[in-house]
Amino acid sequence: MSAVLKTSDEQVPLVSLRNLNKHYGDFAAVDNINLDIRDGEFLTFLGSSGSGKSTTLAMLAGFETPSSGEILVNGQSLVKVPPHKRDIGMVFQRYSLFPHLDVRANIAFPLTLRKLSTAEIEKRVDAMLKLVQLEAFAHRRPAQLSGGQQQRVAIARALVYEPRILLMDEPLGALDKKLREDLQDELRHLHRRLGITIVYVTHDQEEAMRLSQRIAIFSHGKIVGLGTGSDLYQAPPSAFVASFLGNSNFLRAKVVDTQQAMFEQRPLLVPAQSTQHLGQEVLLMIRPEQAQLLTVEQANATPLPLGHNEIDARVEEIVFLGESLTCSVITAGGSRLSLKALSIAATAHQPGSEVRVRWQAARTCIYYDWNESDLLKGAGSH
Ligand code: ADP
Ligand code: MG
């Protein structure tokens, strides 16, 4: 058939990374990455330090040459196109502003370089100053600005020549938490207003969630998870992703039939399994807020709803966090779970008290392969 019909889900991606590799000697910093980036999306590379995020971004920007593989933009190879011809803007963690130029001249710099007319430069710089709300600071030098303001100048400078794609490598990494959150909100709004494609790098999972339409999770130079924050959180593709993104409880169990696994001599309901897994050791994963903690009296008074599991445990510690609290419990077999509840709903529990933990079996994720090191929270991150 010659006519190709495409649904909106199958539109040609703006950028495609195909079997992309970067080797330093024997070491694969980027290990055969395949990724399609959609036009107009906000996509974040999330991973611990050294996982290959910056190297991938640098190849996209043209600062690094791939050892092998392809980078396509609209189906055209980018590998031989020099950085300044790529229609890509870039913002780094360090502001890299010119210290001797004021804000206006810093923002104007890429346009001056491209030899635009003075009138055009004035017009565009004014628009950028307005966009990042720095009109009042146009004549200050970088040293006279706060870290957050300097980073807004860097963003304006990257956007001023209207690149199709904006790459940002930990741009908020040097700022304190409150300011970082404000700028995250600003960036999200900026993205929505401009309709530009943003590829963002961070090691901070909360930042990734707050900003992105999709997240690519990096580990050892590979993408090990790709999807919306919500998909990756609700149904992590591996135990590694489950432990990397958010908090998770892992229970070691053994599959005993297609709907049950044995945990500490107690059968638990699990999502339906194929018979090939019978007898296999598995990890069950439950998110902290998805299990309910009941006192023994509460549990005795409320029959276990259909499709739910229940295990006995004892409260070890309760940590009050304001609107929520975290409750660590331990089972008779010595498994620990950390559960999260709204403060107002969990006043009945005390350290040392016997409790029942209940959850909906359908909420359980099940994993057949994992490395023990995958289960350590944020292994290798900083
Ligand atoms: P991330 O941005 O995820 O922290 P990077 O992409 O910067 O990670 O680095 C990935 C790996 O490649 C790291 O182990 C790093 O030490 C290594 N690496 C990066 N650049 C070089 C280089 N120029 N020479 C040798 N190794 C490098
Ligand atoms: Mg990096």
Q: Is residue 306 part of a domain?
A: yes
| Domain co-membership, 181 together with 248 | no
Q: What letters, b where the CB count within 10 A reaches 16 and e where it falls short, cover 327-340?
A: bbbebeeebebbbb
Q: Does residue 211 sit within a domain?
A: yes
CATH number at residue 333: 2.40.50.100
Does the pLDDT at position 86 exceed 90?
no
User: Do residues 253 and 199 both lie within one domain?
Assistant: no
Q: Are residues 97 and 108 in the same domain?
A: yes
Q: Could you tell me which residue, 67 or 342, shows the higher pLDDT?
A: 67
Q: Find the range with the poorest average confidence among 36-50, 172-186, 187-201.
A: 172-186
| Domain membership flag for residue 1 | no
> Structural domain tally of the chain?
2
Looking at the domain assignment, is residue 58 inside a domain? yes
pLDDT at res. 64: 94
Identify whether the C-beta of residue 223 lies closer than 8 Å to the C-beta of residue 217: yes
Main-chain phi, psi angles of 20, to 5 degrees? -80, 130
Please give all residues whose beta carbon lies within 6 A of any atom in ligand 1, as ranges.
Answer: 24, 29, 47, 49-55
Choose between 84 and 221: higher pLDDT: 221
Residues 175 and 266 in one domain: no
Residue 347 in any domain: the answer is yes
Note the pLDDT of residue 8.
Answer: 52
- Chain-wide mean pLDDT for the chain? 91
Q: Do 206 and 67 lie in a common domain? A: yes
268 and 225 both lie in a single domain: no
Domain end: 218, 239, 260, which one?
239
Instruction: Report whether 68 contacts 77 (CB < 8 A).
Output: no
Phi, then psi, of 263 in degrees rounded to 5:
-125, 115
| 203 CA → ligand 2 middle, Å | 8
Predicted local distance difference test score (pLDDT) of residue 2: 45
Whether 339 and 248 share a structural domain: yes
pLDDT the model gives residue 377: 63
- 120 and 179 housed in the same domain: yes
CA of 50 to the centre of ligand 2 (A): 7
pLDDT at 32: 98
Residue-wise pLDDT tens digits, 40-64: 999 999 999 999 999 999 999 999 9
* Residue 377 C-beta-side C-alpha neighbours within 13 Å: 7
**Which ligand 1 atom is nearest residue 54's CA?**
2
- 267 to each of 90, 262, 278, 302, 332, how far by Cα in Å? 53, 4, 14, 20, 15
Same domain membership, residue 127 and residue 27: yes
Residue 4 lies in a domain: no
Q: Is the pLDDT of residue 225 over 70?
A: yes
Distance 229 CA to ligand 1 centre (A): 25
Query: Is residue 243 predicted with pLDDT exceeding 90?
Result: yes
Task: Examine the domain organization and report whether 306 and 186 are in the same domain.
Answer: no
Q: Which of 239, 260, 285 is the last residue of a domain?
A: 239
Mean pLDDT of 3-14: 62
What is the per-residue pLDDT across 202-215, written as a single tens digit (0 to 9) for each? 999 999 999 999 99
Q: Would 5 be classed as within a structural domain? A: no
Alpha-carbon gap, residue 49 to 379, rounded angstroms: 10
CB atoms within 10 A of CB 104: 22
Calculate how far, in angstroms, residue 50's C-alpha sits from the geometric centre of ligand 1: 6
Residues 191 and 288 in one domain: no
Q: Pick from 27, 93, 200 the residue to mutate for probing ligand 1's pocket: most ligand atoms within 8 Å of its CB.
A: 27
Identify whether residues 293 and 198 lie together within a single domain. no
More confident residue, 171 or 6: 171
Which residues span the domain enclosing 318? Answer: 240-377
Q: Which residues surround ligand 2, an ion (CB under 5 A)?
A: 54
Domain end among 204, 221, 239: 239
Task: Return the CATH number at 28.
Answer: 3.40.50.300
pLDDT of residue 317: 94
At 9 the pLDDT is 53
Ligand 1 atom nearest the C-alpha of 22 is 12
* Residue 6 located in a structural domain: no
pTM beyond 0.75: yes
pLDDT tens column, 102-120: 999 999 999 998 889 999 9
Per cent of the chain over pLDDT 70 is 95
Q: How far apart are CA 164 and CA 196, in angstroms?
A: 6
Per residue in 257-268, pLDDT (tens digit) is: 999 999 999 999
